[in-house]
Structure 1
């Protein structure tokens, strides 16, 4: 076991060294951010030495203290302390054991992300490229995104089986989505007190749409399946509640089930953003409009998008009659 961990550390260190382009070089020439995966290897070195039951002291010394800047920020934002991390491992040991299966996919995901970032540069020449860091957190979030970068909690993403089953693609689509949030001014600040369902759905749906353009698929691909035969009802319901300020039925309410999907604001927001882009004659301008949606211009964006629930319902009805 110790030998396998040493080999894993060597592999991840080698791949990290290949990926770690200095920020100044990244922004000027390649437009590729640093993608760090070495924190994960450090975690499992500590984890294995303790036979899956690491103490807070061991986690602090061997994992957190030696961690990347992204991990240090994640400690403040989500992990809180080595003791809370140790408690999370003890509470849900299977999740941390299962996350091991995702580790071998990290280098391949990192390599595919180079194409994603290249595509984003073409779509948005103004894009910024802070680092991406993949870590093991305390099982309470799939990650955080700020203007300083994207940090992914691997143990959560690895168990998010409602997303695409291919772990490499799951990571790629997730990071593509989150990297769009890096470019959205509205995603960098707390939403206003009067934030509407429409506004929040356009922020998330815009990340879904541009993430699809850069990676080939949306993050929440399960919603494509789960909304089949329900699209008309969902869209009409959304249109009725678009200007509400209670988002609990549309966003951040969990994946739900195929019978009662959650996070449907992502799906409807994606369809509105896609319609906006499809109808736009100036595609580069449309990308900037999607990225710069805010609570004040969301209603105007919807009107200009050409998206109408009734039109989609009529199309679905016509399709049903043909079948």
Structure 2
């Protein structure tokens, strides 16, 4: 009887770990797209009855949502009323991207390939489920305990997109649909930063974002964000970062959603952390596995800064 009970418990343990939503096996990770389908079912009904749009979105979209959508609502959407008003205001935009977002099968194979590549470079990696949702331009990607959540309406642009009715802010923020796998990998890196020492200085926050950018580039060949606006301003932005890196209260002026200024482009914190990782990579003779392991297990950010030899890297690559 004891042997039978032990066998049952052992099988239960194996089953729970095999089908865990956060697995060490990249092939176990699942992709959920039902929230996009539910959004458009609600969207169609809301257009027929705009006075009750708030109730319609609540019942047909949010109440039927996945775990990922529920997490996304708590942190990024927050208000059904604001959501429904935004969607109706920009209904032509949501209509124009419908066919591009309701079928993402063509991107799943690429995402899985990148997952396998990350596993080969970082054997201790954890692979969560992926949830594709529709939001109101508050985030293109985030994570929760349940997995990776992608705000797909931001990652919607294609060469054939009809942008005639997209307002200037939507046009400015929108990213290419084909970029979705890169955003997924950026968020996958965030999901695997559990062993990085926590902190709230600009240096720490920049390293968390910049390391996700750098490792995404190692895997995908490109970063999640576009840093072309930094060309010619590298030394100025870096010196600004160097002088503020130990501060705790001004991260908001360095993060991705702040509008650019003449002296500091958007995503300056991301870019600074990315450069630190890139310089560190070169000091370690371009050893991908070592650098990824070091970054994702960093305990002393000042020491990492010193060992990256970033000052020399800036001087050699950007000083006139």
Separation of aligned partners in 2, 1:314 and 1:182? 33
Query: How many aligned positions are there?
Result: 287
Matched, 1:173 2:176: no
1:1-80 to structure 2, matched below 5 A, reads: 23-24=19-20, 27=23, 30-51=26-47, 53=50, 55-80=53-78
Q: Are the aligned partners of 1:162 and 1:255 in contact in 2 as well (CA < 8 Å)?
A: no
Within a 5 Å distance, the mapping from 1:1-323 to structure 2 comes to 23-24=19-20, 27=23, 30-51=26-47, 53=50, 55-80=53-78, 82-100=80-98, 102-103=100-101, 106-158=104-156, 166-169=176-179, 171-185=180-194, 192=199, 195-221=200-226, 223=227, 225-245=228-248, 246-256=250-260, 260-280=264-284, 283-293=288-298, 297-308=300-311, 311-317=313-319
User: For structure 1, which runs of at least 5 residues remain unmatched after alignment?
Assistant: 1-21, 319-323
After superposition, the CA RMSD in angstroms is 3.0
Query: Cα distance, 1:260 vs. partner?
Result: 4.4
Q: How high is the TM-score relative to the length of structure 1?
A: 0.77
Relative to 1, partners in 2 of residues 1:162 and 1:127: Cα closer, same or farther, differing over 3 Å? Answer: farther
Q: CA deviation at 1:119?
A: 1.1
Where is the helix percentage greater, Structure 1 or Structure 2? 1
Q: Deviations over 1:251-276 (max 9, x none)?
A: 24425268741221111110111121
Alignment partner of 1:239: what SS? helix
- The CA deviation at 1:196 is 1.6
Unmatched 5+ stretches in structure 2: 1-17, 157-168
Separation of aligned partners in 2, 1:29 and 1:311: 37
Gap change, CA 1:287 and 1:96, over 3 Å in 2: same
- Asked if structure 1 preserves the Cα contact closer than 8 Å seen for 2:118 and 2:125, the reply is yes
Q: TM-score, normalised by structure 2?
A: 0.78
Check whether the contact 1:205–1:266 (CA below 8 A) recurs between aligned residues.
yes
